Structure 1
Amino acid sequence: MTTICADQVAPRTQGWAAPVAMAATVFTVVTAELMPVGLLTPIGSALHVSEGTAGLTLTVTGVVSALAAPVLPLVLGKLDRRTVLVGLMALLGAAGLLAAVAPGFGVLAVARMLMGISLGGVWLLTVGLAPRIVPPHAVGPATSLIFSGIGIASVLGIPAGAYAGELIGWRWAFAAVGVLSLALAVALAFLLPALPAAQAVRIGDVLAVLRIKQVRVGLVLVALVVTGHFSAYTYVRPLLEKLAGISPALIGSLLLAYGVAGVLGNFLTGSMRPARAMTLIAGGIATASLVMPFLGTTLTGALVLLLVWGLAYGGTSVSTQAWGHAAAPTAPEASSAVLVGVYNGSIALGAFTGGQVADHLGTTTVTWLPAVLATTALVVVLANRRQRG
């Protein structure tokens, strides 16, 4: 495979315009990936499918993204990475517009698969991009700015999709993402410097990373936490509607509160050691999901538990990245490829598993999945800390 991060070419600085454009790009891809979370009920109703089947729109995107992340660099070879990013955002734009006009679930699934290709590529290309577009002294702030798009998408993107779905229909929400993606493709073409590919990363490098115990432990934690989270969060809208009787008009507000808590959690855990952060993340998700069926039956109870859940899960991305870097500091590209694949595969697995439970046992039962998986993750991280200590 070809690396996408480190090379010997000095970055051509463009001030802060390029990092801002990349932050907007990250915001858009996260919003696009998770948009069905706030639109599950109207999508299922419009396309005449069950909530579990509608949840597969998240599953197929995660599966394709997980496969695309490690495969795309091999296919792309030495192609300039700026050109690749522009092409991937153009593909995301086309997929969003296709989803907006989908006459049935099959076409929507195809659109979501195309989104998965774009998402997998953008995530992999974004990791380690900052050193190539800003001077050395600005790498830290630029990295934080770029990945702030994740938190902003949680605060604004997903709730905005839910609001749009309620006010003007879910198709317009997808159309808006499509138009924004196309606009960003143009912006990236003008604002990013040339990003030539550098030396190759061999398959053996990835296998070598997998032989590192702490890398394997980190991947297990990612799989448990992310799968558990999305097994319930994918179905949070119908869950809140049925468990607490919350009206669709309030769903966007609750998701907004969840997103704000997630941003706070991202900053709180960002300064912690990865093991401590993962302990708090797993413990918080396990606690919130365990008590949700009992205390989440009112608007106030559901709001409090969503705040706890968001605060806990919000630090997952930054904490797992820190874990991977600490475990394999000399192989950032290889460890990133594996992490991106497992992360997105876990999103797909969580959405699929939650859908099966929702369809066969009822939507209100999906919270036991994150309770079990997050508790298992807590046991794993605590056992690993004792073994290392």
Structure 2
Amino acid sequence: MHISDKTPLESTWPAVATVGVGAFALVTTEFLPVGLLPNIAADLAITEGQAGLMVTLPGFLAALAAPLTLQWAARLDRRFLLVGLLGLLAISNALVSVADTFWILLVGRVMLGLAVGSFWTIAGTLGFRLRPAQGARATALIFSGVSLGTVAGVPAGTLLGDWLGWRVVFEVAAVTSMLVALALYRLLPSLPSQTQTGAAALFKLMNEPSPRLGLLAVLLVFSGQFAAYTYVAPYLDGLIGLNSQMLSLALLVFGVAGFIGNGLGATLINKGIQTAMAVTLILMAAPMLILAALPSLQLAVSSVVFVLILLWGLGFGLLPMVMQSWLFSLAPTQPETMGAVFVCSAQVSIGIGALGGGLLVDNLGVVTAMAAGGVLAGITLLVLRSHRLNVNQQETKAI
């Protein structure tokens, strides 16, 4: 693994941290609309379902950009590529902040999707390149930006939007993105491109039944998550009656619980990957289904809602690490290939979930989006059970 001779190894920790800050900026920007959806919809005179396309489009574009990045950026130094992607993020946020029509808004979010897909294709491998002897620790630092974006970025953006308006939030995000781009340019060493796994390995992997089943699980659970989570603000505001401060607090609770879940992931995995997956899916499915039922049961008590949001956040915090570990167990000899497909599939699922949830919200009400999320998480649990039974049957036949 190559590190520029001009940059001593000891000096690369600031570079690793800056990549993590870039991850924070991207994740925060991708999910800012979750807390600002009602304000954006009202300002542009669109439905909340239409505003949900701010999450749908980046997901689809990120999924498209991820595998294509290794083609169009095959020879680019990764340092300059990441700087350019954070610059694109800054332009995206600036365009959204001044958008006076729905279409200009969507153009800005398309730029975000391209930045997200390409960034994660490259950034996920940089921990081991920048700190070869401490790659796991460096990778964890980079991915901590994801948790911090959920814990701090989205709730802070929601609160700032309530005080100063949603456009100011995206203006701040634009300035932050540009500052991160400048920091990456200053701190990252030269990172020439390396030989990457090609498309042939991806097609070969998808011809195997276990990985296909695993990716079906990714599609189901991530679609369900974002069918519900994208519209949690309209649910808590419109049906539960939380004011803007309480809404920000609910999103903060979700984020903090997710951060805790992320930290508990390794411990839970050590107890068995099947058990870890089952616990994760139950923690996601049950709160969403109960939240969907609360209005009809007339039990929309704030304390109950916050407990359910906490449990849901805990489950979602566990999901990325537990899901990836399960997928890697399905293809133990091809972890990098499976990881690349996972990123692409998860981003597609985010788009599908936000789009499907928007259609449900506009036509049947926001409760149905919550219900859909819980049902899909439950179906994922059945898929997990099906795979476990198949493995047990194969082991029995082998004996």
Cα distance, 1:316 vs structure 2: 1.4
- 1:324 counterpart = 2:335: no
User: Partner residue of 1:66?
Assistant: 63
Structure 1 counterpart SS, 2:99: coil
Give the secondary-structure state (helix, strand or coil) at the position aligned to 1:314: helix
Change (3 A) 1:209 1:386: same
How far, CA to CA, are the matches of 2:343 and 2:352 in structure 1?
14
Using the alignment, how far apart are the partners of 1:103 and 1:198 within structure 2? 42
* Structure 1 residue 308, shift from structure 2 partner: 0.7
8 Å contact from structure 2 (residues 12, 187) kept in 1 = no
* Contact persistence 1:43–1:170 (CA under 8 A): yes
TM-score, length of structure 1 as denominator length: 0.94
SS in 1 for 2:191: coil
Computed over aligned residues only, the root mean square deviation of the Cα atoms, in angstroms, reads: 1.5
Matched, 1:356 2:395: no
Displacement, 1:387? Answer: 2.1
Q: For 2:203, which of 200, 204, 207 is the aligned residue?
A: 207
2:263 counterpart residue number: 267
Match of residue 48, structure 2, among 29, 51, 55 = 51
Identify which range, 349-358 or 197-206, moves more after superposition. Answer: 197-206
Q: After TM superposition, list the pairs within 5 Å mapping 1:244-263 onto structure 2.
A: 244-263=240-259
More helix by proportion, 1 or 2? 2
Choose 317-326 or 127-136, whichever is displaced more. 317-326
Q: How does 1:301-312 map to 2 (within 5 A)?
A: 301-312=304-315
Secondary structure class of the residue paired with 2:105: helix
Q: State the Cα distance separating 1:10 from its structure 2 match.
A: 5.0
String of CA shifts for 1:180-238, please: whole Å, max 9, x gaps: 11111111112112111122432111111222333222211111111001101100011
Distance (whole Å) between structure 1 residues aligned to residue 254 and residue 15 of structure 2: 29
The size of the alignment, in residue pairs, is 381
Aligned pairs for 1:368-383 (under 5 A) are 368-383=371-386
The match for 2:161 among 160, 165, 172 is 165
Please state if 1:84 is matched with 2:87.
no
Equivalent residue, structure 1, for 2:396: none
| CA–CA distance in structure 1, aligned partners of residues 197 and 119 of structure 2 | 18
The answer as to 2:194 corresponding to 1:198 is: yes
Point out the more displaced range, 30-39 or 364-373.
364-373
Choose 236-245 or 34-43, whichever is displaced more. 236-245
Question: Bigger CA drift: 373-382 or 318-327?
Answer: 318-327
The 1-side partners of 2:83 and 2:48 are apart by 34
Partner Cα distance (2:333, 2:26) in 1: 28
Q: Which runs of 4+ in 1 moved over 4 A?
A: none
Match 1:32 to one of 22, 29, 34 = 29
Q: Which residue of 2 aligns with 1:285?
A: 284
SS state of the match for residue 69, structure 2?
helix
8 Å contact 1:21–1:187 — kept in the other structure? yes
Instruction: Select which of 119, 122, 132 maps to 2:119.
Output: 122
3-state DSSP of counterpart to 1:365: helix
- Please give the alpha-carbon distance, in whole angstroms, between the structure 2 residues aligned to 1:258 and 1:185: 29
| Residue identity matched to 2:176 | L
In 2: Cα distance, 1:90 partner to 1:328 partner: 36
Report Cα offsets for 1:3-42 as digits up to 9, x if no partner.
xxxxx43575224201111111111111011110000000
Give the match's secondary structure for 1:366. helix
Matched with 1:4 is: none
CA contact (8 A) 1:223 1:342 kept: yes
Corresponding residue of 2:236: 240
- Tell me, yes or no, if structure 1 residue 93 matches structure 2 residue 90: yes
- 1:367 has 2:364 as partner: no
When structure 1 is superposed on structure 2, of 310-319 and 194-203 the one drifting more is 194-203
| 1:288 CA drift (Å) | 0.6
Structure 2 residue identity aligned to 1:298? V
Shift of 1:332: 3.8
Cα distance in 2 for residues equivalent to 1:275 and 1:143: 24
Post-superposition Cα deviations, 1:78-123, rounded to whole Å, max 9, x if no partner, equal 1111111110010001110111001111101000000000000111
The share of aligned pairs that are identical, in percent, is 36
Structure 2 CA distance, aligned partners of 1:210 and 1:344? 18
How far apart in 1 are the matches of 2:47 and 2:104? Answer: 16
Residue identity matched to 2:380: A
Partner of 2:219: 223
Instruction: Tell me by how many angstroms 1:146 deviates.
Output: 1.1
Q: d(CA) in 2 for partners of 1:328 and 1:129?
A: 22
CA contact (8 A) 1:124 1:336 kept: no
Change (3 A) 1:25 1:221: same
**Residue 62 of structure 2 aligns to which amino acid in structure 1?**
S
1:315 counterpart SS class = helix
